[in-house]
Chains A and B, each alone.
Chain A
Amino acid sequence: MTTTDPAATPEPTSELSVPVEIKAVPVRRPGRLLAAVIIVILAAALIRSVATNPRFDWSSVGKYLFSAPIMDGLVQTIELTAISMVIGIIIGVILAVMRLSPNPLVVGASGFYIWLFRGTPVLVQLLFWSFIGALYPVIALGVPFGPSLLELNSNHLITPFVAALLGLGLNEGAYMSEIVRAGLLSVDEGQTEASKALGMRRILMMRRIILPQAMRVIIPPTGNETIGMLKTTSLVSVIAYTELLYAAQLIYAANYKQIPLLIVASIWYLVLTTILSIAQYFIERHYGRGTARATPPTLIARIWQSFSTWRHTQVETVAPTRHGL
């Protein structure tokens, strides 16, 4: 330390030795005030319009919101979303592992699949699958280039539901593979080496060490994909499969109440995407364990936190319990 003039070092004043909360006059921010005023005016105009325009026909919205055809369509939409995502994830994992294979032919096959299914619109693919009977009237299972063991009529096998699953699931697989691949590559090479050094074989290492850590990177975009898939299922209406949108369309084709029924469909899509977002939050938390110096919270902590999250408008970065080091 350098020697300083004792007179220059300020004596700690008795008032400041006790911490006093600072109460300063805040800086004026006219821009913020202006923005707030504009938003309030626009919001008021919007609410007034929605409330007073009779063509919104809110009574019809209420009437059809829980009607049987809409409920059936909703169930079909959920089913399509869930099964297509499962197909997509399975194909995605397989393609991602293939992509990392040392065999160039395997890598090439995976690359070709992704090129084909990512390079054409999913709407075109859906139409393709629904017209597959024109291309292959009979689908046969058997020895390649040899006798067939089982022959099926395409038009019976590929129902609109199957066509929808094929179109959505196979397309999703191409996108999921890139997500899974990025996740696998995000895990440090040292984890692989440590697993090998402990005598683990590749499958055990993937299942217990690599994939669980890759999940942290895989889950957020997969949540996005699921939400995207939920909305993409509405495309299936073009091949006349009665999911949520097509159910609404069938009703307004008969009664010409297009707007109320599209609102009904939109409300349900919003409800489902909201639920998915909440689910994603908890899944992410689960796979984030062991990172950011946080211990995973107990079940009670989770319930409490979800409760407080609801109260304090979606603060996603609540500090986890810390343990002193």
Chain B
Amino acid sequence: MTEPMVRAQAVHKRFGSNEVLKGVTLEVAAGEVMCLLGPSGSGKSTLLRCINHLEKINSGRIYVEGKLVGYRQRGEVLHEMPEREVAREREQIGMVFQRFNLFAHMTAIQNIVEAPIRVAKRKPEEVNRAARELMDRVGLGDRLDAYPAQLSGGQQQRVAIARALAMKPKLMLFDEPTSALDPELVGEVLDVMRGLAADGMTMIVVTHETGFAREVGDSLVFMDDGIVVESGDPTAVLTNPQHKRTQAFLSKVL
């Protein structure tokens, strides 16, 4: 059996006394597009942030390509990973945020080349060429020198995707990438993501776009109150939910 891209085992996460994840177990295969669906506060964004160690989990294990995230295991003892190694693990995992989080003081192209040059230490000429190609790919080849504030939300999110892709990640995490967008701008971002999926990128997408989940997703996970309630083929889950909570949620959303 080949090692899955992401493996989460009985993941628990508390913020103070508030337990947000109550034992989440799931697997994402290489090349798979998994959509995470669920009401707000169900823990789906938190799970995503645990996968690249932006949040520390309280118990359980998360593996990316078979390697434990954030810790090293020596015998029975877990050792915290030094910052340098956590950072190196994150280089491999792209993340796209709900609020874009582009670097406000840099132009679009500067946003994209910053990490490949200064973190991955790749050659500036090569990075610049790749960045231009990425901007073309997200349909913004003519806005290289625009500052984030000069771009629409949809354009900013597309730059943010290009920025994550510039690090040549093997896994992309999308945290409600279209939730902060005006309705008419959602399509352009989903188009870019659709293209990525077609190219075989492994993606975990927290989203409310059931249409996208049905069309692009290989699997769908419905979470509520910190646990995985139901998962499976997106169309099957969406059209014929087995669990009451899934049914209740979908009846409100669809």
Instruction: Name A residues whose Cβ lies closer than 8 Å to a Cβ of B.
Output: 188, 190-191, 193-202, 204, 208-209, 212-213, 287, 289-293, 295, 323, 325
Contact = CB atoms under 8 A, between A and B. Distances in A.
Nearest to B166: A198
A184 to B, nearest CB: 14
Given A193-B101, A200-B87, 11 more contacts: A190-B101, A191-B103, A194-B95, A194-B102, A197-B95, A198-B115, A198-B164, A199-B115, A202-B83, A212-B105, A213-B105
Nearest to B120: A199
Contacts, number: 87
Contacts of B93: 197
Interface string B117-158: 011100000000000000000000000011111111000000
A323 B90 contact: no
Contacts of A295: 145, 147, 150
Contact of B119 (A194, A202, A204, A289): A204
Contacts of A200: 87, 115, 118-119
A88 B7 CA distance: 50
Contacts of B145: 295
Nearest to B107: A290
B67 interface: no
Contact of B84 (A188, A201, A212): A201
A-B CB proximity, top 10 nearest = A199-B91, A190-B101, A194-B101, A198-B115, A197-B95, A290-B147, A290-B105, A199-B90, A199-B119, A199-B87
B152 A289 contact: no
B61 to A, nearest CB: 21
B219 to A, nearest CB: 23
Interface of B: 52, 54, 83-84, 87-91, 93-95, 97, 99-107, 114-115, 118-120, 145-152, 160, 163-164, 167
Contacts of B103: 191, 194-195, 209, 213
Nearest to B105: A290
A190 B97 contact: yes
B114 A208 contact: yes
Given A190-B97, A194-B97, A290 B90 contact: no
Nearest to B147: A290
Contacts of B160: 194
A257 B146 CA distance: 60
Contacts of A291: 104, 147, 149
A102 to B, nearest CB: 13
B147 A190 contact: no
B101 A191 contact: yes
